[in-house]
Structure 1
């Protein structure tokens, strides 16, 4: 059994090498070995269940949430833990669907096919519940890690702010011309696109240079190009 799994993973990794790049393959190898190591430790030391064995639904949901959070972190780093995850990564490269949805399609086919082996409707239902919760959490984690924001910065010190954003945060800035309707005075506006995790450093930087600056921050659905997601 283990030999068959090894052969399948090797074939998938070879395909991924040409489609997704060697960086993805190396990270996946690290993730696969890391997962195997952690599971070995968990099986040895986590001998007592934290949930009552009489409630498989609760165990399924909580297990799916924990697993989804962990896999979401792995996927957000452009890596997987091997197996069908590689297939899902290849699908999302060529289709405008999320990683979670792509993997869910693959796992649904596998779970439904298990009917011919187990012939248990109960196990199939539990399996579908698990993957629905798991990949919903996966998408939430990935979206949170890749969430982008747009800043509109109004300041008389826009040149200094833009220079520091370029130098310290390595983000580009665009200067556009505006006019204040109340003052009727021309106003330079800085437009900055960044990751949500960079919001706090940008606010601190602007406050350090011009504490009276006016800043607008908004979430954007997607940003594609250098420094962000690639156009598929």
Structure 2
């Protein structure tokens, strides 16, 4: 299994956010907002002597084995890395800051912050074709075979955990857990869309060749050329279309502005691009 430096850093950042949000915001308030961490919080509430991190490691072994068999070794390998990374980081946090207490008396604010931090971390991991382990593996399997979005798949997978939270931790904590699961699924879907958003750009310019060269040579992107006829002057025009990341589009816009040419640009937001140079279609 190959993981380049950038993806390795992103996976670590994603798992750290999940560990941080769980340990400092969710666990102290007994908010079992789904997932293996939620199950671990429930068990830890009943048996306080059992560390949350150790419980998570034990439960993850079975589920990541299922992930390897059903989804594949690459996904399984990354999931093993991420799940044990989260568990190890929580164990480390328990050693550094033992017996952590709620940071404030406002449970709702801590729920929102905890879910926001965890949701962003999970979205980063899912976007790299991995998962944080536990019920997220079940969600990934649901996503693979039903094409339900990963956020909604997590919502389906975590409903049982929230029901258990209502029984074990109380109705109030259970309602917080349900709210947390709904928020988590929404944040994950929205953040993944933002991570994969692109700009579809169409350009009509008298200096088309320079713009084409800039797109290909400087931005390392390709472009498609169309020819159209202007309705006002009945003249032939070259239309350059390309798909760029947001930063690339900003560079292109600055370059076009520097040309001092009359240029017409239309821009559309694209939520997903599959194919050569982008995400694999397979």
Name the TM tier (shorter chain). Answer: 0.7 to 0.9
Q: Give the structure 1 partner of residue 150 of structure 2.
A: 99
Gaps of 5+ in 2: 1-54
Q: 3-state DSSP class of the match of 1:226?
A: coil
Kept in 1, the 8 Å contact 2:115–2:183? The answer is yes
2:177 corresponds to 1:127? yes
Distance, in Å, in 2 between the alignment partners of 1:32 and 1:114 is 22
Partner of 1:29: 80
- Is 1:149–1:219's contact at 8 Å kept on the other side of the alignment? yes
Choose 140-149 or 55-64, whichever is displaced more: 55-64
Q: 1:46 to 1:3 in 2, by over 3 A?
A: closer
Q: What is the CA-CA distance between 1:3 and the residue it aligns to? A: 7.2
What are the residue-to-residue correspondences of 1:116-195 with 2, within 5 Å?
Answer: 118=168, 120-195=170-245
Post-superposition shift, 1:112? 2.4
SS at match of 1:34: helix
**Corresponding residue number in structure 1 for 2:68:** 14
**Would you say the 8 A contact 1:71–1:138 is kept in 2?**
yes
Which residue of structure 1 aligns with residue 103 of structure 2?
51
TM-score (norm 1): 0.81
Query: Alpha-carbon deviation of 1:162?
Result: 2.3
**Which residue matches 1:80?**
131
Distance 1:82 1:3, change over 3 A: closer
- The 1:95–1:120 alpha-carbon spacing in structure 2 relative to 1, beyond 3 Å, is same
Q: Distance in 1 between matches of 2:217 and 2:122?
A: 33
Alignment coverage as a number of residue pairs: 226
| Match status 1:41 vs 2:92 | yes
Q: Determine if contact 1:61/1:129 at 8 Å carries over to the other structure.
A: no
- Structure 1 residues 95-136: Cα deviation after superposition (integer angstroms, max 9, x where no partner): 332211111111113322555x62833332121111111221
Query: CA 1:15–1:50 in 2, change beyond 3 Å: closer, same or farther?
Result: same
